Every structure is written in C-alpha cells, then in structure tokens.
Structure 1
Amino acid sequence: MITLDYVKSKSASKLSGLHPVVLAATERLIERTYAQGVTIIITQGLRTVEEQNYLYALGRTKPGKIVTNARGGYSNHNFGVAIDFALLMPDGKVSWVVNDNWMKVVGIAKELGFEWGGSWKTFKDYPHFEMTFGLTTSQFRAGKQPSQAQISEAYKKINGEMEDVEKAKVYVNGEKIEDGFVLEGRVYVPLRAAGEAFGAKVNWDNDKKIASITK
C-alpha cells in the first residue's frame, strides 16, 4: 500500500518556490485526497519564464501539441501561485484520466480555495489549480502581492475548523508520526499513519463511512 510519506515525496521537488499559502494548500490537498483514498502527484509548480516560453512554443514554432496559451511571464505558474496534478496509481504510474477520483481531487481543491482550470470557458486545463488572490499576471509582474487580510482568509479556509484545535504529537514505538489533536479532553490520532506504523493495513470506505484495520 502506498504510504502518505511516499506520496508526499513524489511531489516534494515541485513544491519548491510556491507562495507560502499555495504551498500550505497544496500540502493539505495531498493529505486530504489521501485520506479519501485518492493519491495524487504534483507535476508542476513554479515555472521559470524560459520554461513557460518553451511550452508556449510547442505546437506553434516547435513540434508538438499546444499545451498553454500563456507566454513567459503571463502564466500564474511563473509566480508560484499555480500547480498541476495527476493521479498517482498504486503501481507508481501517473494517470491523466479525468474520472471520479479526479473529480474528488477537484472538489477538495475548491474547498481549499483553489480555482480549477477545468472550469474555464475557453482553454480547458484539467490538471491545473491556481490561487491568485484576485491578482492578474500583469499585477504580479509589477510586484504586487496579496494583502495580509487575503492571506489570513486563505489560511482560515485551508485550516478549516482545525485552526484553533490544540495539536498533539504522536509517537509509535518511539518514532514520530503525523500529529493528532486534542478535542474536548480526548486525544485523536491519525488512523492511517498509526495503523501503518504498527504494520497494519488501513482502508476507508467513503460510501459506507467505514474505517477498517487489518493485520
């Protein structure tokens, strides 16, 4: 079974350079989709202007299919506020098939504050999520940044109801796993992380809302 740490490691190199809020939302997206039984990989994060121009040339001045309508400096990827994703299959392969699991990811991303490229009226970009804070690429090029109020509001949406909950560090046989939290005098631990630390298989049936642990 693919572990959360493995899933995170597959995307780690693409998270560098993201805006801190977008980074937090992306990490939460990976965690929440995993908890729903869907594993994803971030295939693109911050993109340089040179990389953007190369992609723009595909299907135009270079062989290949058109993959973007944005020149260098005109894509939100160039400012660390956009990501692309794909489904990570159990065998480690990547899938770009837009199916039910894909749409689960889209739903969770929207809850976190992302805009989905698949909702665009003209150029449909199904793997694409962005969080622009209402700013345009021209404003980003001019050095404008989101306000503190916008950042605070975004973090509230990312953290949800867990924002004010006291965290609890969790150790299994002396090894730290994901944090749990304290609520009304009880300590709640991450079931999947704890179960897998004991060598058990943890499954979640989202339709029946049943968690099962098998060793």
Structure 2
Amino acid sequence: MLTLAQVLNKSAARLSGLHPAVLAAATALIERSYAVGVPILITQGLRTIAEQDALYAQGRTRPGAIVTNARGGYSYHNYGLAVDFALLLPNGWGVSWDMNRNGNQNGTRDWLEVVQHAKAIGFEWGGGWTSFKDYPHLQMSFGLSLTELRTGKKPAAAAVEAVIERIKPKEGQAVKTKMKVAIQVNGRKIADGWLEGGVTYVPARKIAEALGAQIAYHPAANTVEITTTPQKGAIS
C-alpha cells in the first residue's frame, strides 16, 4: 500500500507550472481523496499552447479519436488553471478512468467522491458541462473568461485568497489521513485495521491468535501482554 507521500510524489511532475492556488488545491484534493481510501493521480496539469494545438489536431488532421474541442489558448490548462485526474489502483502504478469503481467499498463511486471533494475545494468539474463533457477535468477560472486570459489578465488577489481559505482546514480540524486496511498473517487475512498518519492500528488479540500466542490484559498496570510459546530446541 502506498503512503500519502508516495501518492503525492507520483503527481509531482504534473503539478509543476500550475498557478500557486491551483497547485495548493490539487495537492489538497490528493490528500483528501487519500484520506477516504481513494488515491488519485494527476494525469495532466499545465499544457502549452503547442501541446494544446497538437491535441486538438488529434482526430482531425492527425490519427486518433477527438479528445478536445479546444484549440491552443482556449483551455484553462494553457494558463495553469486546470488539472485532469484518474484513480490510482492498489498495485501503485496502474490507473483507472472507471467511473463506477468503488474501491474503498463504502457505497459511493470513487470518481464521484473525488469530484465532491474537488467541488468543496473550489474546482469546476468538466463532467458537469452541458455540451462536451470532460469527466477527468477540473479547473479554476477565478471568474476569468478564456478571452480575458488570452489578453493576459491574471486572477485577482481576492479570488485567489478565497480558494486558499477553502483549502485551509477549519480551526481544530486538521485533515486526517485515516483509511481501512486488511491485516494478513502469512498471506491470510485475519482482521481489518486502520492506517493513520503512517501508523497501522491492529486488533492485538487477532494478531496474537494468528501467531499462536496468548494474550492477556492487566488492568492494574494498564498493559496488554502477548506471550509466545517457546519452540522446541529454542535457547532462552
């Protein structure tokens, strides 16, 4: 299982060049998604005008399927104000665009969980567009149209600060990274545990029983004692 640091590192290269507020928002989205057991990968961040034109040509003057209706300068990606995402699979390297996947088995589709967190942070979701729906796409316009961005206009300080305020955890409510994990002994699942802040919490009795050990709680000393049975021939 990947740690949060490892998940963040996988997206690091694609976060380069983003507007600072969008960078902070995308980082927060990765963290919040990980906290509910849905690791994600940022697959696209800043896209140059030339890259946008090449993508627009796909399915038109170049082989492949049409994937965008935006020419160079007509995408928020071109200004570092948009990202695309995918679900990161448990093997740590595979990705999925399956919008029906429910990897954390909580009854809500993983994709929509990510979108919910993204909207709470301040992203606009391409899947909500009425014409060309772009389900992996998230953007922050800061109230600016693409026409204004093409003329060189920048996001206002107040609009940027509003995004930063959304990202900040409320006082006394730090963002927690807690997720359910399966505990295995010699390849056999024996219990569920929790991974939080890089520490794995497991039921001691289940572990002891799986190892053939005795476990006892001593109230006076507030101690849990696990005693293993010495193996024949062992030197004490």
Displacement of 1:18 after TM fit? 0.3
Return the alpha-carbon distance in structure 1 between the equivalents of residues 132 and 62 of structure 2: 20
Q: Indicate conservation of the 8 Å contact 2:88/2:95, yes or no.
A: yes
AA paired with 2:41?
I
Q: Which amino acid aligns with 1:17?
A: G
Matched, 1:126 2:135: yes
Task: Give 5+ residue unaligned stretches, structure 1.
Answer: 166-179, 182-188, 194-200, 205-211
Partner of 1:213: 201
Match of 1:94 in 2: 95
Q: TM-score, normalization: structure 1?
A: 0.78
RMSD of aligned residue pairs (Cα, Å): 2.4
Pairing 1:1-215 to 2, within 5 Å after superposition: 1-91=1-91, 92-99=93-100, 100-162=109-171, 192=178, 202-203=194-195, 213-214=201-202
Q: Distance in 2 between matches of 1:32 and 1:39?
A: 9
Letter in 2 for 1:131: M
Report which of the two structures shows the higher radius of gyration computed on alpha carbons: 2
1:151 Cα offset (Å): 1.3
SS at match of 1:161: coil
Three-state SS of the structure 2 residue aligned to 1:87 is strand
CA offset at residue 202 of structure 1?
2.7
CA drift at 1:203: 4.6
Q: CA deviation at 1:74?
A: 0.8
Displacement of 1:123 after TM fit? 0.3
Q: Distance in 1 between matches of 2:132 and 2:169?
A: 31
Query: Helix, strand or coil: the match of 2:168?
Result: helix
Report the residue type matching 1:52 in the other structure. Answer: Q
> What CA distance in whole angstroms lies between the structure 2 residues aligned with 1:48 and 1:81?
12
Distance 1:113 1:130 in 2: 9
Distance 1:46 1:191 in 2: 27
Q: Percent identity?
A: 54
Question: Counterpart of 1:118 in 2: which secondary structure?
Answer: helix
For residue 170 of structure 2, give the secondary structure of its aligned residue in structure 1: helix
C-alpha contact 2:35 2:176 (8 A) present in aligned 1: no
Cα distance, 1:190 vs structure 2: 5.2
Asked if the contact 2:36/2:178 (under 8 Å) is kept, the reply is no
Between the aligned partners of 1:190 and 1:105, the Cα distance in structure 2 is 16
CA apart distance, 1:149: 1.2
Q: Which portions of structure 1, spanning 4 or more consecutive aligned residues, are displaced by more than 2 angstroms? A: 189-193, 201-204
- Please report how far the alpha carbon of residue 6 of structure 1 lies from its aligned counterpart in structure 2 after TM superposition: 1.0
- Secondary structure of the 1:121 match is coil
